[in-house]
Amino acid sequence: MVVSVLVEVSSSNVDKCFDYLVPQELENDIRVGVKVNVPFGRREIIGFVLEIKNDSEIDNLKYINSIVSKDVILNDEMLELGKQLKEMTLSTLISCYQVMLPKALKAHDNSINKKYDTYYSINKDIDLKDYKFNDKQLEIINKCGNDKVKRSELIDISISSLNTLKNKNILIEEKIETYRLDHSNEKKIVHKLTPLQKVVYDEFISYDDLIPTLLFGVTGSGKTEVYMEIIDYYLKLNKTAIVLVPEISLTHQLLNRFSDRFGNKIAALHSALSDGERYDEYRRIERGEATIVIGARSAIFAPLKNIGVIIIDEEHSDSYKQSDSNPRYNAKDVALIRSKYHNAKVLFGSATPSLEVMARAEKGVYHLLKLDKRVNGKDLPEIKIIDMNNEMKRSVGHFSKILIDEINNKISLGEQVILLLNRRGYSSFVSCKNCGYTFKCPNCDITLTYHKSSKTLRCHYCGYATKEQIVCPECGEKSLSPLGVGTERIEEELKKLTTGKILRMDYDTTSRKGMHEKMITSFRNHEYDILLGTQIVSKGLDFPLVTLVGVINADTSLNIPDFRSSENTFSLLNQVSGRAGRSDKSGKVLIQTYNPDHYAIKYVKYNNYLGFYKEEMNIRRILKYPPYYYICFIKISGKDNSIVFNESNKIKRSLDRNLNNNIILGPSELFRINNTYRYSIYIKYKKIDNIKDILSKIIDHYKNNNNIKVDIDFNPTH
Ligand code: ADP
Ligand code: ZN
């Protein structure tokens, strides 16, 4: 028997299968999709069996060393999906398989183990009447009865009695595999759908095709409730479901709602899990114990069988795109591929759909369903735009008088406030008041960010850090001071303006495991009056007592040189506004801006997504951006600037020669990161035609060139 094994050789571009012989004693356990140890050069490495053959064209084959685990790690669907992913992203096949697997199952990792609990039970072969027991021992024996009881529960009674019973062979100890997470829940909460929700549900169920559906529903319209009802429908047909949510900030509340209804049927896959927890959840899915998978981007690869529906909540979120490493895939595209394999329906949900998805829904390429009323019957919150150009004189720090007064008013009524610091593309840095000097990272062409609590200046790209300084290295004056707004700074200002208790939530305060969830719970329990934070506070949270949402600086995200900056700003402001007035009390939103006439801000005020959509589509059409054109982003990088520059120009010329029907822009220089010089080339195209052929050739050409790295990103989100 010969097997064809796909190996991962780290820091190399080897991406092909090698043939190996299988020793006779292992033949019975060999399946396509299992992990094996193979000799490779002088090393032993791990790979996936992709094919089983009778013989090979190659002579003198080596034998595989062993089978890592008899479990099939890549099933037929995943084996095929990996090939399609490679086709779609032009990445290596091994990277496409690796991205589908949790860390514990990746080719090279063997460090995570199953977890066991220790149980006791009474030895059935003895007669208890033959023994005499003291009180503690009796208590232990009674507790065991006919069941297996956890050792930890028996220790609480008496550890010495426990040991005596064990030594006398009256109790028998055994280890049973356990899972690290437990979603079991007795509540089984089911809400009856409102008539509007019912219409949407019925429509969706009635579709008998696999065309994806957009559920365009305002914030608080009860989309999540509709998702759960739809999932219930498919579970009753013995099918399974995937629900994707953007990131952990959304996952906890959603998970709670799902476990309140579905209990242990759910499995969670998100970034806040430990490797062990993720491994357990993954195996519960594989074994068919969990039938609903809820998670972030990579949960789209969950090894569910017989999928009935794939739901992608907050469809517009850019977190569904893997942008920072290969394969640069979008979970939404993977959803469509899996939908075909399983005959599963796909549902995209959003209050602010991406232009791409909305355009398809408008054209009838997707089904379109709407929920335009809130469940509580309340209007969407009233939104007021505060023109900071006029408010300057009356404002204290970054707060207009109107906003401060309203914050204090709400707090005095016993209500809660959410404040958003829109910091996308903006952070605080240190600059010299005398000469204007700013600290830059020595490795990257980027200003260092000031971290007040640790008194350091840090590079958010390469991790470089240095102590805060007082004297300007340029002019020698003691005039260095922090500029730009950070949450810490706003919190300080706010403390002087209100007596309300402030909870600051940003990536610094939530990085510790479990912190985010803890903060959300304490805010929900009204231990704080004000939740202050970055983008993290804008998404999906549902706090009944929040009646005021304030946006401190709406503009920062508008100023980013990205064709999606208006769309991102509109969506962010709309999302955060949606946090106000979600229960029986009406909500109010105050947005501070220096650009009150910008169309993104104006349409937010009137909660007019469709108005924004039309205006933005017009601009995209004129400027030849998505959804009218597709974009492919090519990044060329390396340590030697002149080599990178020259090769970038060669690539550009080769594209020009071969792709004369497309718009090719660049190369333009990107800022340096970690002493790596980077150039970008963009292709704008309507039809993919031969673009992938040319790009594959380019990738191949540079494959073994250590001076140049070429990364390809189709439909980038930045
Ligand atoms: P969305 O996902 O559109 O923002 P949610 O599903 O979170 O909306 O619904 C908003 C609030 O209304 C939640 O607190 C939810 O529990 C409640 N809700 C939604 N649908 C119903 C229903 N049919 N009956 C009772 N409460 C509901
Ligand atoms: Zn740096």
CB within 8 A of 519, min separation 6: which ones? 503, 505, 509, 510
Q: What is the sign, positive or negative, of the torsion defined by CA atoms of 244, 248, 250, 254?
A: positive
Q: Rounded CA gap, 156 and 140, in Å?
A: 10
Closest listed ligand to the CA of 578: 1
Instruction: Kindly give the distance from the C-alpha atom of residue 238 to the centroid of ligand 1, in angstroms, as a whole number.
Output: 26
Please state, in angstroms and rounded to a whole number, the distance separating the CA atoms of residues 680 and 669: 6
Centroid of ligand 2 to alpha carbon of 67 (angstroms) = 43
How far, in Å, from the CA of 468 to the mean position of ligand 2? 16
Residue type, 74: L
**Among 250, 375, 576, 583, which residue has the most ligand 1 atoms within 8 Å of its CB, making it the best to mutate?**
375
Judged by its nearest atom, the ligand closest to the C-alpha of residue 314 is 1
Pick the residue whose CA is nearest to atom 25 on ligand 1.
191
Give the separation between CA 313 and CA 369, rounded to whole angstroms.
Answer: 14
SS3 21: strand
CA of 518 to the centre of ligand 1 (A): 22
CB contact at 8 A, 95 and 327: yes
SS3 assignment, position 201: helix
| Protein residue with least CA distance to atom 9, ligand 1 | 222
How far does residue 53's CA lie from ligand 1's centre (Å)? Answer: 55
Ligand nearest to the backbone CA of 449: 2
Ligand 2 centre distance from Cα of residue 461 (Å): 5
Q: Which residue reads 């937010």 in tokens?
A: 604
Atom number of ligand 1 nearest to Cα 191: 24
As for ligand 1, residues whose beta carbon falls within 6 Å of it are 191-194, 197, 217, 219-225, 375, 542
Beta bridge partners of 66: 37
Q: What is the CA radius of gyration of the chain?
A: 29
The answer to whether residues 291 and 304 touch, using CB atoms and an 8 Å cutoff, is yes
- The confidence score (pLDDT) of residue 264 equals 93
Residue 569 CA to ligand 1 center (angstroms) comes to: 25
- DSSP annotation of 560 reads S
Q: State the Cα–Cα distance between residues 395 and 404, nearest whole angstrom.
A: 9
For position 425, what pLDDT does the model report? 46
DSSP 491: H
Ligand 1, residue 225: give the atom nearest the CA: 6
The enclosing H or E element of 138 equals helix 135-144
Segment (H or E) for 116: strand 115-122
Distances (CA, A) of 394 to 389, 400, 403, 532: 11, 6, 11, 22
For residue 193, how far is its CA from the centre of ligand 1 (angstroms)?
Answer: 9
* Distance in angstroms (rounded) separating the CA atoms of residues 22 and 66: 9
**How many whole angstroms separate alpha carbon 293 and alpha carbon 310?**
10
Among all chains, which residue has been given the structure tokens 């660049």? 666
For atom 6 of ligand 1, which residue has the closest CA?
222
Q: Which of 404, 427, 431, 398 is nearest to 417 (CA)?
A: 404
pLDDT of residue 13: 66
678 C-alpha to ligand 2 centroid (Å) = 14
Prediction pTM value = 0.88
Q: 464: CA distance to ligand 2 center in Å?
A: 5
Peptide bond into 716 cis (omega under 30): no
| Amino acid letter, 388 | M
- Ligand 1, atom 10, residue with closest C-alpha: 220
3-class state of residue 6 by DSSP? strand
| 449: β partners | 458
Please give the number of the atom of ligand 1 that sits closest to the Cα of 221: 3
- What are the structure tokens assigned to 127, written together? 């007669």
Which ligand 1 atom sits closest to the C-alpha of 219? 4
Atom of ligand 1 nearest to the CA of 218: 3
Distance 331 CA to ligand 2 centre (A): 30
The dihedral formed by the CA atoms of 655, 659, 663 and 669, expressed in degrees to the nearest 10: -10
Closest atom, ligand 1, to C-alpha of 542: 14
CA of 451 to the centre of ligand 2 (A): 15
The residue contributing the CA closest to ligand 1 atom 26 is 191
User: Is 102 within 8 Å of 275 (Cβ atoms)?
Assistant: yes
How confident is the model at residue 189, as a pLDDT?
84
**Mutate-to-test residue for ligand 1 from 189, 191, 225, highest number of ligand atoms within 8 A of CB:** 225
User: Could you tell me the two tokens for 316?
Assistant: 């517009």
Q: Nearest CA to 544 among 405, 374, 294, 313? A: 374
Count of other CB atoms within 10 angstroms of residue 151: 17
Nearest to 22 by CA among 59, 66, 58: 66
For 390, phi then psi, to 5°, come to: -90, -20
Atom of ligand 1 nearest to the CA of 217: 3
Query: By alpha-carbon position, which residue is closest to atom 17 of ligand 1?
Result: 222
The closest ligand to the CA of 200 turns out to be 1
Which atom of ligand 1 approaches the CA of 540 most closely? 4
- Specify whether the CB–CB gap between 242 and 307 falls below 8 A: yes
**Alpha-helical regions (H) of 39-92:** 76-89
Q: Which of the residues in the chain have pLDDT under 70?
A: 10-13, 104-112, 248-251, 424-428, 483-485, 508, 511, 540
Per-residue tokens: 256: 């709670």
Ligand found nearest the CA of 442 = 2
Q: Name beta bridge partners: 150.
A: 119
Backbone angles phi, psi at 632, to 5 degrees: -125, 130
Q: What is the pLDDT of residue 566?
A: 94
Structure confidence at residue 106 (pLDDT): 65
| Distance between Cα 450 and ligand 2 center (Å) | 13
Which atom of ligand 1 lies nearest, measured to the CA of 257?
16
Choose among 407, 419, 355, 360: nearest CA to 600: 355
Point out the ligand nearest to the CA of residue 444.
2
With tokens 């065309």, the residue in question is 211
Which DSSP symbol is given to 448?
A: P
Provide the pLDDT for residue 312.
97
Ligand showing the shortest atom-to-Cα distance for residue 194:
1
* Spatial contact of 251 and 268, defined as CB atoms under 8 Å apart: yes
Q: What is the pLDDT of residue 183?
A: 82
Q: Which ligand is nearest to the CA of 446?
A: 2
Which atom of ligand 1 approaches the CA of 351 most closely?
A: 3
* Cβ contact 610:618 at 8 Å: no
Q: Which residue is closest in CA terms to ligand 1's atom 4?
A: 220
Cα of 505 from ligand 2 centre, angstroms? 25
Ligand 1 centre from 122 Cα, in Å?
Answer: 49
Q: Which atom of ligand 1 is nearest to the CA of 192?
A: 23
Three-state secondary structure call for residue 43? strand
Instruction: Classify residue 99 by its DSSP letter.
Output: H
